[in-house]
Structure 1
């Protein structure tokens, strides 16, 4: 039976989507060339090509390559088994390209994934930083309705309560989906825990904190002091030397949304966390999509700790970093075994 095909005049966005789906069905399902599609639908070949690109860019088409030599898929399976991850995305990168290029590739993959994941009537929480900024710069516009984009942690410093870097990330992400931006105009770290406690009783702040608790998607990276592409919190002057020394002495190896944690995933008794504006990390354990995007060897120790703490249920990572994460985790586990355990 011949499939009925009709091109709708491109008068609005919905028509563009319908036309793109029509062309994609002919190209991928019926194996027709762009020349034949153009002739059948009375379009130019360039118009057909643009519609195919539109279909791919807007998540109407997903391409999966089943390669028996596909190393990333093997690494993804190993990550899921080793850490109990429901979802893992391992991004192929050039080994010699450098960590900056790795981050760019990973950010592009994350942006594409988000464009498929984000739907109407969602609440999305962002922990601003260099990695999330790279992702936002690669998003493709997608129309949604009733979407809220809420900032997870404050960005004010001792010098200024406003931060163009963090606010721009929130605004650009919200604009990309036609969503409502919900910035969090508080300091990244308070001078006194009592000040935070008092401010959290204010209705305006309480409303934002309650919105954070309803997030369908959390997007963040793991902060690391030693990364080749340094974390914004560590390099942007948010912590004075005394604070850095205190969290180091407390055994902290990383942070998520300015909340610090140790190698074993513990965090509740780290003193600085009582002064942070970030949410309790329990939020990341129960979110439907708790998406950590990480790239670079400097993230390894923090990633291992975050996975041990159960804060991540979706990981997007470059292949070299993923392999090193597995190697160091397996080596650490082997080192902790007793002689009797090794011979069982």
Structure 2
């Protein structure tokens, strides 16, 4: 038996004794003839490899919960509020929300599915927290083109899509186009190319769309607005059009509308009607600066599933009950 197989066997034995038999780590260490710290590392490795899945059955009455209130008001399939103290700060909120989103995605994606992913800082964190699953025939397609060239904390779009695809032993489909074109005519011409049409077809066939809300406000400004993709006149135009955020680089107004915004004619993102038509449209959001954009996305009907930090969730509920 090689070393990798031995590690797998030991991890499975440790997990079964710890979770099925409720044995303490000291007892497991004695039975496996290893140290206490080795048992801890084996259990951690087993979780990271997807050998262990933990499920919490929430049996509380749902009528008055924050999640249920948002779910009913916005007519969503699922709402997950991530508990996190407000004092922890927005970076900690984002980290925790990303971990929950990664776990949720593993419960949603199945063999044969097409997953569409919009790149960005939040999705970068989700990708970093994925737990491997062995599936068959999964395809992961990039929803919006471009790469983040001036923010070293965010991995480029190609890495991001490949990370999701590798996690499910699937195939990655990249979307090699600029974030924003200089001229609408250039985009129109490129959109007629067969290679681009193939990616756009995958967008339309997607079973699940995973995205966040882009925002040009606050300390945690979205990557789109920090990448030198937009000029000063673009921001002026956005203000004149009442833009409050974006979904995969498509700008939206407070009511969720996007038609008639000139910048969208040059944007690389998908038709937002896809988000209304797909079976699962999972929006992962963290931070007060994304609240206006989130409300717009909900008003537009682009979200079926919402994963949100608790402080922002309270602000969202307050904004609709005021």
Q: TM-score, normalising length from structure 2?
A: 0.85
- 1:227-246 CA-to-partner distances (Å, cap 9, x unmatched) read 32110111211111111211
> Match of 1:129?
120
Alignment of 1:107 onto 2:98: yes
SS in 2 for 1:88: strand
- Cα 1:170–1:157, aligned 2, differ >3 Å: closer, same or farther? closer
Query: Which secondary structure does the structure 2 equivalent of 1:213 belong to?
Result: helix
Counterpart in the other structure of 1:334: none
Distance change in 2, residues 1:80/1:10 (3 Å): farther
Q: Which residue in 2 is equivalent to 1:61?
A: 53
Displacement of 1:208: 0.6
Report the CA distance shift for 1:174/1:157 in structure 2 as closer, same or farther (over 3 A).
closer
Note if contact 2:11-2:46 (Cα within 8 Å) is conserved in structure 1: no
Structure 2: distance between partners of 1:83 and 1:43: 55
Partner of 2:197: 206
Match for residue 237 of structure 2 among 246, 268, 273: 246
Q: Give the deviation of 1:166 after TM superposition.
A: 1.9
Aligned mates of 1:17, 1:121 — CA distance in 2: 29
| Alpha-carbon distance change, 145 to 65 in structure 1, aligned in 2, over 3 angstroms | closer
Q: Distance in 2 between matches of 1:133 and 1:157?
A: 11
1:257 equivalent to 2:244? Answer no
Picking from 288, 291, 294, the partner of 1:297 is 288
Residues 17, 55 of structure 1: 8 Å contact kept: no
Alignment of 1:252-291 (within 5 A): 252-291=243-282
CA distance in 1, matches of 2:89, 2:79: 22
Contact 1:34 1:45 in 2 (8 A): no
Tell me the residue number matched to 2:110: 119
Q: Which residue of 1 aligns with 2:219?
A: 228
Stretches of structure 1 that go unaligned for 5 or more consecutive residues are 1-8, 332-344
Aligned in 2, Cα 1:10/1:141: closer, same or farther, shift over 3 Å?
farther
Q: How does 1:314-333 map to 2 (within 5 A)?
A: 314-331=305-322
Aligned equivalents of 2:223, 2:146: Cα separation in 1:
10
Report the secondary structure of 1:212's partner residue. Answer: helix
2:250 and 2:269 in contact (8 A); partners too: yes
Query: Is the Cα contact below 8 Å between 2:147 and 2:156 reproduced in 1?
Result: no
Partner residue, 2:80: 89
Gapped runs of 5+ residues in structure 2?
none
Give the superposed CA RMSD.
3.2
Q: Which has the larger radius of gyration?
A: 1
In 1, are the aligned partners of 2:11 and 2:45 still within 8 Å (CA)?
no
1:109 Cα deviation from its structure 2 partner = 1.4
Deviation at residue 24 of structure 1 after TM alignment: 5.5
Change (3 A) 1:24 1:164: closer
The reply on whether 1:148 has 2:134 as its aligned counterpart is no
Whole-angstrom CA distance in 2 between matches of 1:158 and 1:45: 46
